[in-house]
Amino acid sequence: MEIKESDHGDTLVVILSGRLDSTTAPEFERHIIGRIEGGRNDIVIDFGGLEFISSAGLRVMLMAAKRVKAGKGRLSLCALNDNIAKVFEISGFLAIFTIYPDSGAALAGNR
């Protein structure tokens, strides 16, 4: 898994590529929780390059969502491919997250 970031005013865009599974979830957890604890509470996670997400990845997403919400921020997701969108649908996570088609729409929605 590769993690990239870009700043857009008050919103941090985190761009994931590869696989978010039991091997890579701890790295992503450290990364995203570190950003949240550092005061970043408006976050867009771009799944455009992500090929796979496991239950371990979903757990990290849920943890991040809870922490952002506790800080009165927003965590949005974008660019989910069909397979990842299906995992979110089956797990019931579509009701938890605001999902946008791309980062531009997500940034506009976070304003």
Q: Which residue from 59, 73, 6 is spatially nearest to 28, judged by alpha carbons?
A: 59
Token look-up 């940034």 returns 107
- Sorted by where each starts, the structural domains of the chain and their CATH numbers stand as 2-103 (3.30.750.24)
pTM score > 0.75 for this model? yes
Nearest-angstrom CA–CA distance, 84 and 111: 25
User: For 49-62, what is the mean pLDDT?
Assistant: 97
Q: What is the pLDDT of residues 4-54, one digit of tens each?
A: 999 999 999 999 999 999 999 999 999 999 999 999 999 999 999 999 999
Q: What is the pLDDT of residues 72-111, one digit of tens each?
A: 999 999 999 999 999 999 999 999 999 999 999 999 986 5
